[in-house]
């Protein structure tokens, strides 16, 4: 959620809560204090910015604090930095630093909330647990991988004409999503044989099937005709050529230098061909990484181990900075530093989901 969205929601919450008597709120009236923090504090201490390394958009962030220690001590408003900052008359320390000061009633609401233990919907009331937990880790990308149960079949789809029965667990998940939340979506009808081989050929090889291939597949009455077609296309050399292109995009490979004097790189192609071979050979991913990052050390007696390390220098190369400007000059030194930085950043950016580009400035 953006800061502006949070601000609008917080203001709406304050208006709503202030219009309702405390007894009707079911939370002792403390949600107004939480909404006040979201409305007045998260612009500088929220997801988009953390002045003094402090976040106030969660209970954990408040208890963890920033450069000046914890923002609040659960159960002790008088000992809390947050209360001191909103009450002080020192212009260098007052919070919020701009705009209207908090009213006496608002300060009292914050103090009562802290004295009550900083109740925050959806979070544990135990300060020790909350202080040790980073709310950013709630993001779906950081959750443990789990194997969910396969959904039940959707009865309505079994009676509709043109809709094939489920073939594998993925079908059940997709069809469950189609009707989730009362939606009235239905699977597309099964494709005819000629359409199916065309789609599959483009997906796996990037090329259309020949007329003879189409005729043979249409006439094949074997119940495993589709599976046999998949196996044949996966075994085609064209499969590696098609899918290695995606990997070459990830590692920003180029057949030319790609910088200023964009001339051909006559020795780049062995790495490209290695990637094609690896995909066609179905090389295990762990071995795939080893060969590219340290193949000359880990697998020095193999052609793949030697050629795969072309990954290290796969990106753009400053022909002028490296070849035409001596390293004794500042521009030459800068070119070499940038080249080595690109090697390190590309390695971590390729093989790690949190890239070094972000981590240079942000603690993930």
Average pLDDT over residues 108-116: 88
How far CA 107 is from CA of 36, 52, 68, 164, in Å, comes to: 10, 22, 20, 64
- Pick the residue with more confidence: 286 or 359? 286
Q: Which residue has the tokens 């000046």?
A: 68
302-335: burial string, b at 16+ Cβ within 10 Å, e else: eebbbbbbbbbbbbbbbbebeeebeeeeeebeeb
pLDDT at 124 over 90: no
Average pLDDT over residues 150-159: 89
Q: Is the model's pTM score more than 0.85?
A: no
Q: Write out pLDDT tens, residues 52-65.
A: 888 888 888 888 88
Q: Give me the pLDDT at residue 20, please.
A: 37
pLDDT averaged over every residue in the chain: 83
Q: Give me the pLDDT at residue 271, please.
A: 97
CA dist., res. 250 & res. 254, Å (int): 11
Look at residues 116, 103, 123 and name the one whose alpha carbon lies nearest to residue 22.
Answer: 116
- Determine which of 132-136, 147-151, 178-182, 304-308 has the lowest per-residue pLDDT on average: 132-136
Q: Write out pLDDT tens, residues 291-333.
A: 999 999 999 999 999 999 999 988 888 888 888 888 888 888 8
Q: Give me the pLDDT at residue 134, please.
A: 63
- Give the three-class secondary structure for 174: helix
Q: Give me the pLDDT at residue 294, please.
A: 95
Element (H, E) at 315: none
pLDDT at 208 over 80: yes
């Amino acid at each position: 959620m953006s800061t502006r969205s949070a601000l609008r929601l917080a203001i709406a919450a304050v208006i709503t809560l202030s219009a309702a008597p405390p007894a009707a709120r079911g939370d002792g009236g403390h949600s107004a204090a939480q909404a006040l923090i979201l409305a007045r504090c998260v612009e500088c201490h929220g997801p988009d910015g953390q002045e003094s390394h402090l976040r106030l958009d969660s209970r954990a962030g408040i208890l963890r604090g920033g450069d000046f220690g914890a923002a609040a001590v659960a159960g002790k408003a008088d000992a809390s930095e947050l209360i001191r900052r909103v009450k002080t008359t020192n212009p260098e320390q007052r919070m919020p630093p701009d705009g209207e000061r908090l009213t006496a009633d608002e300060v009292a609401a914050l103090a009562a909330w802290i004295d009550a233990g900083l109740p925050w919907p959806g979070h544990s009331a135990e300060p020790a647990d909350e202080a040790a937990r980073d709310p950013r880790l709630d993001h779906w990308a950081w959750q443990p991988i789990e194997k969910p149960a396969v959904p039940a079949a959707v009865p309505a789809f079994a009676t509709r004409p043109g809709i094939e029965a489920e073939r594998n667990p993925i079908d059940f998940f997709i069809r469950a999503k189609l009707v989730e939340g009362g939606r009235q979506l239905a699977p597309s009808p099964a494709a005819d044989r000629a359409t199916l081989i065309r789609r599959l050929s483009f997906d796996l090889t990037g090329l259309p099937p020949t007329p003879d291939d189409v005729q043979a597949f249409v006439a094949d009455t074997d119940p495993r005709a589709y599976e046999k077609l998949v196996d044949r296309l996966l075994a085609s050399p064209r499969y590696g050529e098609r899918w290695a292109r995606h990997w070459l995009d990830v590692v920003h490979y180029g057949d030319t230098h790609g910088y200023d004097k964009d001339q051909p790189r006559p020795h780049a192609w062995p790495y490209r061909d290695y990637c094609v071979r690896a995909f066609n050979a179905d090389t295990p991913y762990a071995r795939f990484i080893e060969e590219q990052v340290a193949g000359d050390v880990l697998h020095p007696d193999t052609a793949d181990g030697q050629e795969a390390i072309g990954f290290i220098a796969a990106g753009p190369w400053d022909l002028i900075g490296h070849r035409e400007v001596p390293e004794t000059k500042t521009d030459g030194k800068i070119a070499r530093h940038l080249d080595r930085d690109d090697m390190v950043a590309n390695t971590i950016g390729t093989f790690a989901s949190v890239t070094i580009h972000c981590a240079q400035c942000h603690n993930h």
